[in-house]
Structure 1
Amino acid sequence: MRTVLVVLFDAVQSLDVTGPVEVFAGAENYRDGSYRIRTASPDGTPVRTSSGLALVPDHSFADAPAPHTLLVPGGAGTRRPDPRVTDWLREHGPRAERLVSVCTGALLLAGAGLLDGRRATTHWAYCDKLARDHPAIQVDPDPIYVRDGQVFTSAGVTSGIDLALALVEEDLGRDAALAIARHLVVFLRRPGNQAQFSAQLAAQTAQREPLREVQQWITEHPDDDLSVESLSARARLSPRHFARAFRTETGMTPGRYVERVRLEHARRLLEDTADGIEEISRAAGYGTPEAMRRAFVKTLGSAPAEYRRRFRPAPTH
């Protein structure tokens, strides 16, 4: 049995705690004796989450059991951390067989010196802070989770569920993780190197209606002519004015936005359909399998066929 110990503190993000806990609890339902889930706060008294929910820990730090997996959630409480938390992590973190952070929990691990010399991620809004405050950490702002040895860091909030599912898959196999994902009605499909947010979330929504309509058109027609000339005509602007306005209002160039939309569309087709690579490359607007392959390797580090083999759920019978 693997003991999963979750660190609690005031102003913790509740979903950072409950999301992974539900995954590990689901594994216990799938196979008895898989995990023992425990929580601990500095003095063993209840903590209040950032949303106002009260959580009652099982232990104080002093009497907490030795964990197999030590899970450190994030939340507002990581911005001005309780020194009792970072001091305890500094001493006990290296003893865990597996050290895991969710969201800005990485800030606590960094403050305890446990990420120095490692690659790590956190919520996209705090990656710059993590890199600035801790230059010894190789901060990667793109993935939803990162593994460096036995240290795992994840991005914002719900990515803790993705990481917990990946850990269950490592411990108990894909069938267990898939059964839990189905029970929780979430996808067992998000690889760690998937971007933290979709093209639509990565870009700001344009203020002007013609530009918003162009954003929506790109999303719905990735296989169309999405050149600046074509898109600017749709927005009834000159190409130069359109390109400048689009970047100003969305935070990225039209070309970059199109790249993200096409990659996301192709990824979903690889995950959700049995369509061939050539067919998908046309549907996503790449034109040729080679063009799609280059985009996948550049952004995701794997070719489309490899991506499909690794991340498409196996058929069930």
Structure 2
Amino acid sequence: MQVIGFVIFPKFQVLGFAVVTAFEVANVVVGEAIYDLRLLSEQGGLIRSSAGFAVETEAFGSTAVTEAQFDTIIIGAGMQVEATTPGLLDFVRDAALTSRRVAAPCIGAFTLAEAGLLDGRRATTHWAFARELQTRFPRLKVEEDRIFIIDGPIWTSAGMTAGIDLALAMIEKDLGADIARAVARNLVVYHRRAGGQSQFSALLELEPKSDRIQQALDYAKKNLKQPLSVEELAAVAHLSPRQFSRAFRTETGQSPAKAVENLRVETARLLMEQGRLSMDVIADETGFADRERMRRAFLRAFGQPPQTVRRNARLSP
């Protein structure tokens, strides 16, 4: 049995428990208690969350905790970066010496960094806090556009639901891909996103208000290899081209052409990170038609050519 300690503190963010749930579901899928889940805190007892309710925890210094052999320690996160107590830092440093892996979803990375565990390592965090993390702790390398990063025994992930991806990656490493996929299905999420995948989604940024515009976007996503003219998308939305263009810009803040380019860039980037197809094939499959058009689109979106994006992905484990 693998003992997992989930560390929380006052004003912890409740969504972090989604990480715990993934391991709980893994036990159900396997049919036995593979993971023993323990909630830990510095003082023990009831710890109040940012949502207002409290949960029962075991204290770092309690006999049960000091005698436990923790395979994995996961640091919870809050809604904002708070001062880290000396007791928490000492516990994290000790855990790094005795546990197989130490993880920190979201801004829990600040705790690992302050404890010195990220010195000389690559890490990620919620995109809104990435630059602050890099500024405060220049000895680590923050990759702010990653879902999760594994650097030796240290695991970090982006914010909120990215912790589920991190947990699924751990379950896959421990129990295999089939179990991880079964856990993902039980959680009703896509099988975990690759660690190198972008935290950002072109579809999420658009956020259309009406079903018609959403239907056109879904159609575009499924048919990127096609030219996707305004007339074609308007027909899918059952609007005239003029009505469609006006409604699209009003609801998304972008022109249809710009939105389609963003979808193509996002899809092309994912294909590059997977590393299986040539640049020519990717350009064709995503509707850019040729590498030069794709290169110009990448420069507009990321300030980097496709070759740099692929090279960076290959450097990531």
TM-score, scaled relative to structure 2 = 0.71
CA contact (8 A) 2:269 2:309 kept: no
CA contact (8 A) 1:194 1:300 kept: no
- Closer/same/farther in 2, CA of residues 86 and 78 from structure 1, 3 Å limit: farther
CA distance in 2, matches of 1:67, 1:174: 23
Residue 79 of structure 2 is aligned with which of 76, 80, 84? 76
CA distance in 2, matches of 1:22, 1:182: 13
CA contact (8 A) 1:263 1:296 kept: no
CA distance in 2, matches of 1:302, 1:285: 23
**Residues 40-80 of structure 1 deviation map (CA, whole Å, 9 limit, x = unaligned):** 111112111112231211x1101222311100121136422
CA distance in 2, matches of 1:60, 1:77: 23
CA contact (8 A) 2:126 2:159 kept: yes
- Closer/same/farther in 2, CA of residues 168 and 221 from structure 1, 3 Å limit: closer
CA contact (8 A) 2:283 2:290 kept: yes
- Closer/same/farther in 2, CA of residues 296 and 105 from structure 1, 3 Å limit: same
CA distance in 1, matches of 2:115, 2:193: 29
- Structure 1 stretch displaced more, 86-95 or 3-12: 86-95
Which residue number corresponds to residue 314 of structure 1?
Answer: none
Which residue number corresponds to residue 93 of structure 1?
Answer: 96
Which residue number corresponds to residue 118 of structure 1?
Answer: 121
Counterpart secondary structure, 1:25: helix
Gaps of 5+ in 1: 207-213, 228-233, 236-248, 271-276, 304-317
Which residue number corresponds to residue 263 of structure 1?
Answer: 265
CA distance in 1, matches of 2:188, 2:37: 22
Which residue number corresponds to residue 136 of structure 1?
Answer: 139
Which residue number corresponds to residue 154 of structure 1?
Answer: 157
CA distance in 1, matches of 2:185, 2:219: 32
CA distance in 2, matches of 1:99, 1:183: 25
Counterpart secondary structure, 1:24: helix
Deviation at 1:170, TM superposition (A): 0.4
- Give the partner amino acid of 1:23: A
Matched, 1:2 2:2: yes
- Closer/same/farther in 2, CA of residues 258 and 195 from structure 1, 3 Å limit: same
Gaps of 5+ in 2: 209-215, 230-240, 243-252, 273-278, 299-304
Deviation at 1:83, TM superposition (A): 3.4
Which residue number corresponds to residue 194 of structure 2?
Answer: 191
- Report how many residues are paired: 274
Which residue number corresponds to residue 26 of structure 2?
Answer: 27
Deviation at 1:27, TM superposition (A): 1.4
Deviation at 1:264, TM superposition (A): 3.1
CA contact (8 A) 1:10 1:77 kept: no
Deviation at 1:85, TM superposition (A): 1.6
Deviation at 1:22, TM superposition (A): 0.9
**Residues 231-279 of structure 1 deviation map (CA, whole Å, 9 limit, x = unaligned):** xxx99xxxxxxxxxxxxx88xxx97x76542133457899xxxxxx999
CA contact (8 A) 2:164 2:192 kept: no
Counterpart secondary structure, 1:181: helix
CA contact (8 A) 1:94 1:114 kept: no
CA distance in 2, matches of 1:189, 1:264: 17
Deviation at 1:81, TM superposition (A): 2.7
CA contact (8 A) 1:124 1:141 kept: yes
CA distance in 1, matches of 2:207, 2:54: 36
- Give the partner amino acid of 1:161: I
CA distance in 2, matches of 1:66, 1:291: 55
**Residues 138-183 of structure 1 deviation map (CA, whole Å, 9 limit, x = unaligned):** 0000110001011100001100000100110000001110111111
- Closer/same/farther in 2, CA of residues 199 and 56 from structure 1, 3 Å limit: same
- Closer/same/farther in 2, CA of residues 109 and 33 from structure 1, 3 Å limit: same
CA distance in 1, matches of 2:261, 2:116: 37
Deviation at 1:302, TM superposition (A): 9.0
Which residue number corresponds to residue 233 of structure 2?
Answer: none
CA contact (8 A) 1:193 1:300 kept: no
- Closer/same/farther in 2, CA of residues 55 and 121 from structure 1, 3 Å limit: same
CA distance in 1, matches of 2:97, 2:13: 24
CA distance in 2, matches of 1:166, 1:77: 26
- Closer/same/farther in 2, CA of residues 92 and 129 from structure 1, 3 Å limit: same
CA contact (8 A) 1:9 1:77 kept: no
Identity %: 37
- Closer/same/farther in 2, CA of residues 77 and 85 from structure 1, 3 Å limit: farther
